[in-house]
Amino acid sequence: MAVSEKTMRPSGILRWLGGGRRGLEGYLYVIHRISGLALLMFLMMHVFFTGVRLLGEEAWSGLMEMANNPVLHFLEYLVYVAFAFHAVNGLRLIIIELAFGIGPPDEPVYPYKGSIHKQRPLMLIAMVIVGILIFAGGFDLVAMGH
């Protein structure tokens, strides 16, 4: 017989993740938007911290001293990762949004294979490039030690 328990529906941005199972492109969409937000926040912080120079030479070098630690280097690396993803995936989106790589309109034949399948190679290439960039950046971080 019926069993019941109380529950809530996720709302807003939570539904990006809680809205059900997504496809690869769906997760890329979520990462793209989150990385975009992250980059925007970084940019604002960057402008703010750069503005510290206005307070004089001393304040600036103090800040630089403080910034020179592994945690912040790692955070910087994350900014780089977000940038690499957002830039390359953004280029991919620009290509698709002008309707390249998704094929001409056609009579769909069941089982339906849509534009996602047609443009998937492009997506894979973009992700390989992102991977290479992230790896290269990580190598730089570890090997060069700064």
Partner 1 sequence: MTDQTVTFRVRRHQPGQEDAWQEYPVAVHPGMTVLDGLQQIKEQQDSSLAWRHSCRMGICGSCGMVINGQPGLACNTQVLDISDRRISLEPLSNFPVARDLVPDLEPMFDKHRSIKPFLIAGQQDGDEPLRQSPRQLTDYLQFSYCIKCGACMAACPTLASDADFLGPMPLTAAHRYNRDSRDDGFDQRKQSLGDHHSISHCHYAAECSKVCPKGVDPAKAIQYLKRDLVLDLVGLRRRPGPVPQGSPGTPRDDIPKAPEFTVKKP
Partner 2 sequence: MAREVIHDVLILGSGLAGLRAAVEIARRVEGADIGLVSKVQLMRAHSVCAEGGTGAVLREDLGDSLDLHAWDTVKGSDFLADQDVVYRFVEQSPKEIHQLDRWGLPWSRTEDGHILQRDFGGHSYPRATMAADKTGFFEMQTLYDTLQQHGGCARYDEVFASRILVNDEGRFLGLSVIDMASGEMLTLRGRALLIATGGAGTLYGFTTYSDTVSGDGLAMAYRAGLALEDTEFIQFHPTGLIPSGILMTEGCRGEGGYLRNNQGERFMQHYAASKMELAPRDIISRAMMTEILEGRGFHQDGELDHLQLDMTHLGAERIHQRLPLIREVAMKFIGMDPVDTPVPVRPVAHYSMGGIETDIDGACTAPGIWAAGEAACVSLHGANRLGTNSTAECLVWGAICGEKIAGFLGEEPGLPDLPADLVAAEESRIFEGLLGPGGSASPFEIRHQLRDAMDQHLGVYRDGASMQQGLDKVRELKAAFKDVQVEDKSRVYNTNLVRALELENLLDLAEVAVASALAREESRGAHARTDFPDRDDDNWLKHTLVRQAGDGLDIRYKPVAITHWEPVERKY
Instruction: State the residues that interact with partner 2 by CB under 8 A.
Output: 107-111
* CA gap 13, 96 in Å, rounded: 24
Residue 143 lies near partner 1 (rule: CB under 8 A):
no
Residue 93 lies near partner 1 (rule: CB under 8 A):
yes
C-alpha 94 chain-centroid distance? 15
Binding mask 113-142 for partner 1 (x = CB under 8 A): -xxx--------------------------
Residue 12 lies near partner 1 (rule: CB under 8 A):
yes
Amino acid at 131: G
* 95-109 CB burial, b ≥16 within 10 A, e <16: ebeeeeebeeeeeee
CB of 18 to partner 1, least distance (A): 9
* CA gap 56, 7 in Å, rounded: 56
Q: Which two tokens stand for residue 2?
A: 């019926």
Q: Which residues bind partner 1 (CB under 8 A)?
A: 1-9, 12-13, 15-16, 19-23, 25-26, 28-30, 32-33, 93, 96-99, 102-103, 105-108, 110, 112, 114-116
